[in-house]
Chains A and B, each alone.
Chain A
Amino acid sequence: MGGTGSTPRLDLTGVTKRFGDSVAVADVSLALAAGEFFCLLGPSGCGKSTLLRLVAGFEAPNLGVIRVDGQDMAGLPPHRRPVNIMFQSYALFPHKDVAGNIAYGLPDLGRADRTGRVRDLLARVRLENFENRRIETLSGGQRQRVALARALAREPGVLLLDEPLGALDRGLREETQGELRALQRRLGITFVMVTHDPGEAMALADRIGVMDRGRLVQVGDAATLYERPATRFVASLLGDVNLIPGRVAGRDGDWAVVQTGFGPLRARAPGTMPGEGEAATLAIRPERVGLGAGTGPAGTVTEVTFLGERIRRRIRMEDGTLLRASMPAVAQAPDPHGVGAAIRLDLDPEACRLLPA
């Protein structure tokens, strides 16, 4: 089932799904390479799970084409698709034991082959000798592993994972993240994982697709999305960010000057939107806001919060705009930028992004 080099493993073109009047998935196009770990990231109700269900075949798109290794999936029922899904609830069969669950997708294998296969899969998820355990006797983490082993049993070209770690508590989740990543690397299967946790997406995925109200608004690796978000939504989803309203005063290639309430700022501005004279947003991460004594915009420190390894400051600009600045904590007494200190901002234009308003 190996795809040829040029054919994407999973290829979505203009996929749209409506439920009555509401659009769950709007015109999503996406191509995933074999062996890629892809995360669909977004808040609940953004359509990411529906997109997964469309690929698995539980729902049919109103528009658009879904291809796996070049083969159009239209009209193919779930049981004929070369993809498998792992449910958020795990959906393990309560009337079958662990081996019965894992072997469910392997009815054509002989008894001996099946036993061996189940043992291999259990070893892969580190559940040796769990064959005859009942599902109700397993812990949450063990169930998660059984569900993963069952979904991998048929060696799918694409494995869909719907919030696979959502039901685990935090410590276990971080441990399992590492294992999931290692397993995916070893097997070379294309993983499409749905999550609402940006940290999880950044830790696991080769590429992340951010969904907002049914649309795939940006696709890229974690660093790209973090450093060069395309919209305010993406910028604030992936971490704390200062969003400063303003108007484009001038453009020069990939650069723009934005007139903000506390003066003009230079910013990176790829593309052509928003154009000169239009309302815009300037985004800058708190850790990129420097405090200096230079000639930058003037402000006053109104709050200092010590967070251990970092110190966060709240700064009121002359026009009343509040900004956050975050920097590594350095033992420095007395603090030159304590509450009430008049400071000048040092804003690196490379760290400033021009976004649509």
Chain B
Amino acid sequence: MGEVVVEDLVKVYRDGVEAVKGVSFSASRGITMLMGPNGSGKTTTLSMIAGSLKPTRGKVYVMGFDVWGDGWVEARKRIGFAPQDMPFRAKLTVLENLVWYGLIRGMGLGVARRRASELLREVGLYEHRRKRVEELSGGMRRRLTIAAALIGDPEVLILDEPTSGLDPGARRGFWELVERLARDKVVIASTHIAEEAEKHADKVIIFHRGRIVAEGRPDELIERHAPLARIVVKGDLRAPVEVEGATLLSSSPEEQAYTTRSPETVLPRLIEKLIEGGSRIESVEVRKPGLEEVYLRLTGERLEG
């Protein structure tokens, strides 16, 4: 049993759109990522967990408290929620915005100010505390978002597409920060970037059209649903070759692609045979399977950004 338990969650909007169709999962300490393309129901699910969107049906328990039942106040005290575009007050400074979030979380002014200063130091924004939020770069704003979500020292951190719009470097930096600041918390985040989920999630829940199609550790999911690596050979190529343990995926005079469960064993024999067959090899690339392939296998659709 996890610290966050979601049971048969359904959301039908007033216009009749069924965004989430019976979702159940649990999340424990560490990073759980809901992965799926836009419109797959991730944001709706997170909003229902965070308490900002009422489910049509189903239950959400946070640390044993029913988010939509009697224990809603206790549940919400334990939640730090950062929606996709974390709202900040335009006329307030970075520090003042965090203080405002602290006040919302029920802190006194002095406590909120102290906690806000601490957090700004931790996320590396203390020297920018007097700036307006609009003066911050995208990456800085995301760090401030983390600080705002953490200000009430919640046990559960909910981050909706927290790295959307960031470059890979900034994304990496963001997740390092989350791993450092929230290592003892339950972090539930959403993403549409497979690589991000693969690298930073302890558990991945794959969403497709309002339903969960798979969940587990990233390596488990890959092993279970897309175990084959892809070897892509480029150059002036002759006929494809047959090697034990490899299957030809596609072939052209310039490029051949093979899939294999053990690329380390197959690759030397494949190259040897190609050269023997008269091919001139310019490059060889081994693409290890990832969550992108898992998604493709499970849904028949690509996970687009």
- A pairs with B: no
Which residues of chain B have a CB within 8 Å of any CB of chain A? Answer: none
